[in-house]
Structure 1
């Protein structure tokens, strides 16, 4: 019996500096990612970047770490390497399914391995497996990045966090594509791959960040250097040549890094022969700087679409309203317009009527008055708003313009692009991205599809400058219907992709391939604003720029992938072959680094998904919305030789279907009610991750048969209501891993089947009895050297397919993100 409580002395309970709700410091740490280092070399209008990520296993068991992170959407990833224990392993680019199979096999054999995959043009995933206790593993990505140039300035933008995205659609059953907080849906079938867990607000700096950009003007006149959002230090004199800009210590991975470099640029044609293939093939890069002549002010139809969803709360909503009002104010009496605001529903100002209204002073005032009253709320149902806007614009001889103001934080990018591409031709789409961690990849693709421009606004200070730019784009472009042909230079047909249009203040950049000697010129042709023929001839100059080829390949791959997303499934073979031929990562391929040394027995015992920061500028969720902020312990692989009575493994977190409206009003993020059977945190504590339930807020239900704290097995209990779905998800995860083990040698496969039998037996006990599971578990647990591994493996696959409700499908028909 306790009859007194001894108070702690003040020195025994000092708070952790900078700690917030849910933060817990341990001597061994609690997150696998220790540091991120970005080193960039800017030369003229191209940047070469090396991204170094250091992972450490502070636990007592082998670990697999998963990290979902952003990269610039136009960057070409050309190399990947892993270093551990003084041993360097170069990554190899392979078809995505083959790379995953090689990675899974290496882990099952006890070898270190790492795999890098692209999930969106600006969202990537790295998995590092078989990190032994106490070990550090470093992975490096090498990429080449073109710098966009507009209105006299180049911009080096490097994203540092994947912001939460709205996930529409109905949840898909069966095997999930990843371990994120959102379930895969019919609208976003890989949602679980692009929704990493999010840290609680106020969590102490979990990752050391360093970023340095060395700038070489390369003969261009550099007038000044401007940094947005971050505090930086500069080494060297910008007027004297090379200099370096460094991020100040203590900055967090919660917003884009933006560096603006006002350069003087001119029209040019660079001819870059392939290395080692002089006189055979090469890459050309054409830049055309337009004259400052204003575009003709022809009457136009404009539909302004404003995102008012929950993720736009705070400064973003203020900036978006101001931007939309500025756009309305630029319209003239000969124009017609409409204003649409969307969240879960689409609304418009009733005073303007259902269709396009004349842009009179009275109507423009009514529109601005309506915009001033809008507040953030609800989900981000962008597709229905865009379809309604396109329908309003219809078809006709007038210039038709759609302007979208949003943060772009949606997961169904491919679906939106496909539906917009199928709409009436001739609608010009401009996008204005408002966020400190904007979805630039999607907004750039959408604007490119609509032959328009994308303008990014990362702060209110930048808004006025950005709106001056976008106002000039909304009018008719200077030149349309562009085409390019060689003059003494043999261009490879189709290699230049979509050329777009020529806008005031925006140099046109065209990259493509040529054959033969690097000599000659190109001729750019089109129609000016008055419909008259326009032509520009540019003579080429041979240059040595190794980044030219991968930058072109990345642009080519993005064009092919957008056409694939729009419905042309015949392009898959060309996408894969282009990626492999030029050594540039895409969504259909992956870099895999496989160590030859065996460091453990079997695969890692735990899988941890690295949580990411809440983006800067996003309003902290209210208490009711707290379940969206969590860290995740994904499904652990089996410990070799686990006893039949051991506790079965955790399942990967899977979010329930969104609540009505699809989001919390305060955040716009998908809702996830807290099930009664959840632990205090979303992840279980235990020997390897003792504080997992403390650094997180509850998120997902414990899977059937999950172990309790300190590794104590859960006692058998009646299956609670709704546990059948949890059981199916658990079995679907076992099925996924079983299929991956199909490439193991027969002896290794038998051992894996024996381990599987022990886990299925424990799961049957937890459920209070399950005849099919018990029968399969008994047979698998008795396997011996004389058993037929193939027959047993096929039987186990068939049984798990039936019990999980996830029948097999031919590999050739599976989506590329599930191979």
Structure 2
């Protein structure tokens, strides 16, 4: 067991004393300030290394340290220059701090605390800006990551910052204080969290400003998630932020910047027209970490168990005539079929039988190779490729993966699902963004199936393409777009557009913005920097010129990038350090590992048919044929809780047994499982379509008798009549 926090020579923990977090939300974005309290209780100077997670869409914009009563504010410099300055400082006995982004993944940072004298305390403060993701229920999700799982690094590949992530005890010795201030152009409806919150306080009468805090004594042993709900969520909003009065006009930080939020709601008639075409490629993480529990509760499934149930549901929900394939990956990969196959009863049954045998037994987490193989397959005419990636995201080469997805963005859409806490948010959100899809996060007690079925609906619905935009600004002004163009937009997806306003407007000379509150400017700079960094991965480009532009923007806007770092040095009168400093890792907290004996027992139990016996909904779904119908057999009767005699003797005249079984299945779903409708909606749609094709002459009588038999009150209109 590795202790969490700074370690003494006696291997006793000297942990962080506490973390204070202040969050300022403006509409769809947030500025997050965190202060970490350290102390060196050793007898020698100390260098501490703390590797910690950051939201994928975030960018650090401020870093400072207070040692005793002296505060030093970091500057942004080119990465190698900052590293040299840090090494020189600690070699001279000075106090120094270095904050840098991982070269492998933008959501991992390393903080080096150099030459902290014995008995000395230090408070480290960093501020970052981030976009808030949109959920299926229109909520905006803010997440403060606490869990950072060790990332798998293949042998012989070396390793950067992500390889320094170490396992730690789940006993978190420090507490978290968090306060969130929310302001929005639209009124705030509510704020929810799985963590205990103090009551929401509205700060004005129109409810556009509010404040909420975590309840006292919260232990930072899991991600903190907040869900913000606004009224008129689909109404476009724009926030114009004036430039820094101390900056030169004509450059990004000196001019006003506008952030436009688009979250359209498409007409119901358009959204109900689901496609029956498509090539659906399901890519399942089968690395060893997928054997971990989804959360620490009673009767909790492992990640791989939940994923198997979800794959079953997806297979039953696909439309006849589409194409599909399933990949499993770990240290290597395998596919169910050499190429994607047409969805028929035969191919579906083959896939279901193989899904039952899937285990978390394939070693490490290497996503790149299966993706390369998928992209090498020729696309099927008139069947757009949709890739569904399921992973706990413990990978090391995130940037390389995102570059690959970007290079094939015109040939597919990518939907991603992060299973459990601690995974790379940069991987999950980045693949969805580069692949024009949608990202989902399954954490805590979340049920995977509803979120996955929501993404399947997105994949089957028509998308808006060929998007153009036209800006109308005051005379004498012009706009320069700072964020990448929007190529595709579908129901449930939000787009943020950043633009620089150049020129002089009638009121521009009376406006200004504090340099420490330029959140929109810094997010705009981040969007432009990320675009340039992705362009660097393209063959045949001037990499040095792009790097120089990234460094220039990063220094100007004071935001993090792959080519810069934050460096702070406090000159001291101490003597130069003789010999190496004591180097201490500060491991980030990790989820508890599952008991191997318990896992073995659970795996043995899962050798029974998928799904588990007690889940009647999955039982019913597993019995449906690819065409959408059910057959009258003992397993179906068991779901209904009826005997064969009770059901068969009530069959209306001139009704086939298969029709009767399918009508009863639809009545049962609508009568007993409406709370899970999002999970079985496609199963039901296939069944309704099948019944229509049977030309049942007395459907009304079937519904009436079926309601009476099952004790329901389902109306005939659920059958499309």
Same fold (TM over 0.5): yes
Could you report, residue by residue, the CA deviation over 1:768-807 in whole angstroms, capped at 9, with x for unpaired residues? xxxxxxxxxxxxxxxxxxxxxxxxxxxxxxxxxxxxxxxx
Tell whether the 8 Å contact from 2:40 to 2:121 is kept in structure 1 after alignment: yes
1:564 aligns with 2:536: yes
TM-score by length of 1: 0.63
Quickly say closer, same or farther: Cα 1:145–1:408, change in 2 above 3 A: same
Query: 1:462: how far off?
Result: 4.1
Quickly say closer, same or farther: Cα 1:220–1:73, change in 2 above 3 A: same
State the distance in 2 between where 1:390 and 1:480 align: 22
Structure 1 unaligned blocks of 5 or more: 1-17, 172-183, 185-190, 521-540, 624-819
Match of 1:363 in 2: 347
Of the candidates 1, 9, 27, which is equivalent to residue 44 of structure 1?
A: 27
1:598 aligns with 2:573: yes
Tell whether the 8 Å contact from 1:168 to 1:412 is kept in structure 2 after alignment: no
State the distance in 2 between where 1:494 and 1:24 align: 49
Query: 1:443: how far off?
Result: 1.7
Of the candidates 263, 271, 274, which is equivalent to residue 240 of structure 2?
A: 271
Equivalent residues in 2 for 1:206-245, closer than 5 Å: 206=173, 208-228=174-194, 230-234=195-199, 236=201, 242-245=210-213
Structure 2 unaligned blocks of 5 or more: 293-301, 599-721
State the distance in 2 between where 1:23 and 1:98 align: 28
Quickly say closer, same or farther: Cα 1:263–1:393, change in 2 above 3 A: farther
Of the candidates 110, 121, 132, which is equivalent to residue 136 of structure 1?
A: 121
State the distance in 2 between where 1:333 and 1:320 align: 23
Tell whether the 8 Å contact from 1:131 to 1:604 is kept in structure 2 after alignment: no
State the distance in 2 between where 1:150 and 1:21 align: 33
State the distance in 2 between where 1:291 and 1:440 align: 26
Query: 1:464: how far off?
Result: 4.0
1:312 aligns with 2:290: yes
Match of 2:229 in 1: 262
Could you report, residue by residue, the CA deviation over 1:336-386 in whole angstroms, capped at 9, with x for unpaired residues? 11111112232233xxx4222222344334433422331112121211211
1:196 aligns with 2:164: yes
Query: 1:85: how far off?
Result: 1.9
1:84 aligns with 2:56: no
Tell whether the 8 Å contact from 1:67 to 1:126 is kept in structure 2 after alignment: yes
Query: 1:72: how far off?
Result: 1.4
Quickly say closer, same or farther: Cα 1:543–1:201, change in 2 above 3 A: closer
Match of 2:91 in 1: 108
Query: 1:579: how far off?
Result: 0.8
Quickly say closer, same or farther: Cα 1:465–1:518, change in 2 above 3 A: farther
Query: 1:395: how far off?
Result: 6.0
Quickly say closer, same or farther: Cα 1:424–1:246, change in 2 above 3 A: closer
State the distance in 1 between where 2:318 and 2:505 align: 47
Match of 2:325 in 1: 338
Match of 2:257 in 1: 283
Tell whether the 8 Å contact from 2:22 to 2:179 is kept in structure 1 after alignment: yes
Match of 1:153 in 2: 139
State the distance in 2 between where 1:94 and 1:222 align: 39
State the distance in 1 between where 2:448 and 2:506 align: 43
Quickly say closer, same or farther: Cα 1:224–1:494, change in 2 above 3 A: closer
Query: 1:91: how far off?
Result: 0.8
Query: 1:140: how far off?
Result: 0.6
Query: 1:549: how far off?
Result: 0.4
1:608 aligns with 2:577: no
Match of 2:395 in 1: 410
State the distance in 1 between where 2:56 and 2:115 align: 30
SS at match of 1:552: helix
Could you report, residue by residue, the CA deviation over 1:20-77 in whole angstroms, capped at 9, with x for unpaired residues? 9999999994346433332222243222211112221111111111111011121221
Could you report, residue by residue, the CA deviation over 1:71-127 in whole angstroms, capped at 9, with x for unpaired residues? 112122111111112001111111111111111111122111111111132100111
Tell whether the 8 Å contact from 2:93 to 2:577 is kept in structure 1 after alignment: yes
State the distance in 1 between where 2:415 and 2:458 align: 8
1:297 aligns with 2:283: no
Quickly say closer, same or farther: Cα 1:61–1:550, change in 2 above 3 A: same
Aligned CA-pair RMSD? 3.4
Query: 1:232: how far off?
Result: 4.1
Could you report, residue by residue, the CA deviation over 1:164-213 in whole angstroms, capped at 9, with x for unpaired residues? 11112524xxxxxxxxxxxx1xxxxxx242123534546x434x131313
Query: 1:308: how far off?
Result: 0.9
Tell whether the 8 Å contact from 2:464 to 2:489 is kept in structure 1 after alignment: yes
1:126 aligns with 2:111: yes
Match of 1:552 in 2: 524
Match of 1:445 in 2: 430
Tell whether the 8 Å contact from 2:169 to 2:590 is kept in structure 1 after alignment: no
Tell whether the 8 Å contact from 1:303 to 1:393 is kept in structure 2 after alignment: no
State the distance in 1 between where 2:5 and 2:265 align: 57
State the distance in 1 between where 2:27 and 2:210 align: 11
1:585 aligns with 2:560: yes
1:458 aligns with 2:443: yes
Could you report, residue by residue, the CA deviation over 1:614-633 in whole angstroms, capped at 9, with x for unpaired residues? 5226436799xxxxxxxxxx
Query: 1:246: how far off?
Result: 0.8
Match of 1:720 in 2: none
